Structure 1
Amino acid sequence: MHPNPAFRWPRSANDHNDADERAALESMIVNIGFGMIFAATPDGPRVAHVPVFSTGDGALQFHLSRGNALAKHITKKKALCVINGPDAYVSPDWYGVADQVPTWNYLTLELEGKVREMDRTGLIALLDDLTAQNEAKLAPKEPWHRDKMDEGKFRKMCDAIVGFEMKIQAWRPTAKLSQNKPDEARHKAADALDAIGRKAMGHMMREFGIK
């Protein structure tokens, strides 16, 4: 989390309550759907890159290969999940304001909590949830479902992975979107980002970079 309170979470003119902010965080998890799990092991800190699923009631689910360095050591321990949104380098020339410095704007969410291992039923439910959530984003494509594959092969593949659930104890979002700059300067920088193809960051700076 960035130490500057201005970057803790984006607020729009109509977004001033905890329920709205929590909904925005949940939406970020759904829309991005991929994160990094960090935890300590006897061999030192390790990270795994995984698809993630929010249960909507304060838990985050994911799965790891049994051979992953974290799989044997993460159960009953605290872990950190980082979910990254758009990011972009911002040139000081773009602001049209004197005495600025280069910076990097970004959106990210850190989730911290204790991890438990899921049973096989929970793992299969997670796989179904992840598939349904991501296949829905491909509409009007007909959704893929595991019924389309050989049941024995599916079971064999499940044997090679382990499902986990993190009970989220801390949500730490950062939205560094030039909120500390004058509105006109921020919009000029957003226009410049659009011009080089970084439209997602330009959009976020306009929509959410309100002080």
Structure 2
Amino acid sequence: MRTNPSFALDQVDEVRRLIRENPWVSLISHTDAGELVASHYPVILDPAAADGEIVLLSHVGRPDEQLHELGAHELLVIVQGPHGYISPGWYDARPAVPTWNFVTAHLHGTPEILSDAENLRVLAALVDHFEDRLPAPRRMNGTVENAEYAARIVAGTVGFRLRVTRFTAKNKMSQNKPADTVERILAELDGDGPYASPSLAAQMRRAHASSPDQRKSDQAASGRQAAE
């Protein structure tokens, strides 16, 4: 991912928030056979992780653990947050090109394979994480029948814990645009047009509220570049 200091997201807490709000991720491996393997699974954060750490819990369905050679080498996990098209018509009359606003993180680490008992606990935690929002949550171990069924299907999955050893994250939310342009973009994203996206508008507001000094610096730099 191309780096840009204006859009860098390097706060661990913000990356953890991104994962919590966008738990459907891509798992990518470069195997010893020289192949690229990609799969897609939900993840949760390990509640036992220390402050400043990012530790993921998840599982794969067999035979994905073999395809990925899970545990034998580093895994790349891609987390994608709100994103969307930004039209130059939302700027002003000056010549401009379209862009795409987005927030994403690339997480690296070598997975630790879990025992069947640990895997079962992680699967139950995954279910609880998503069921908690429902008015009548269905727990994996909520009844004897559910627990017995879960115990049977656990053999078809392989659980893992991934301690993130490094990450690169980017939060590109028009931080290099003047305040009036940002407001026009937000109005379009909040509207009812073909590229409206309330979730992207919310992410933009969070990005601009968290770094007003950086935004002023970026706008000044943008103005200097336009004048050159």
TM-score by length of 2: 0.80
Alignment of 1:100-179 (within 5 A): 100-138=96-134, 141-147=135-141, 148=143, 149-179=145-175
Superposed CA RMSD in Å reads 1.9
User: Structure 1: which amino acid aligns with 2:17?
Assistant: S
* Residue 25 of structure 2: aligned partner: 35
* Residue 83 of structure 2: aligned partner: 87
Contact 1:65/1:71, CA 8 A, preserved across alignment: no
Q: Deviations over 1:73-112 (max 9, x none)?
A: 1213101101111110111110115122111111111111
Structure with greater Cα Rg = 2
State yes or no: 1:54 paired with 2:45: yes
Contact 2:37/2:68, CA 8 A, preserved across alignment: no
- What secondary structure does 1:203 align onto? helix
User: Structure 2: which amino acid aligns with 1:111?
Assistant: L
* Residue 199 of structure 2: aligned partner: 200
Change (3 A) 1:72 1:170: closer
User: Structure 1: which amino acid aligns with 2:26?
Assistant: M
Contact 1:34/1:83, CA 8 A, preserved across alignment: yes
Change (3 A) 1:131 1:62: same
Q: Deviations over 1:162-181 (max 9, x none)?
A: 01111100122211101111
- CA positional deviation for 1:143: 2.1
More strand by share: 1
- What secondary structure does 2:170 align onto? strand
Change (3 A) 1:176 1:72: closer
More off after superposition, 66-75 vs 76-85: 66-75
Unaligned runs of 5+ in 2: 216-228
- What secondary structure does 1:38 align onto? strand
- CA positional deviation for 1:115: 1.4
- What secondary structure does 1:137 align onto? coil
* Residue 14 of structure 1: aligned partner: none
The aligned length equals 199
- CA positional deviation for 1:160: 0.5
Q: Distance between the aligned counterparts of 2:190 and 2:110, measured in 1?
A: 40
Q: Distance between the aligned counterparts of 2:157 and 2:140, measured in 1?
A: 16
More helix by share: 2
Q: Distance between the aligned counterparts of 2:42 and 2:66, measured in 1?
A: 15
Change (3 A) 1:176 1:70: farther
* Residue 3 of structure 2: aligned partner: 3
- What secondary structure does 1:142 align onto? coil
**Higher RCO (C-alpha under 8 Å, 6+ residues apart):** 1
- CA positional deviation for 1:153: 2.5
Change (3 A) 1:43 1:171: closer
Q: Distance between the aligned counterparts of 1:193 and 1:2, measured in 2?
A: 25
Contact 1:46/1:69, CA 8 A, preserved across alignment: no
TM-score by length of 1: 0.86
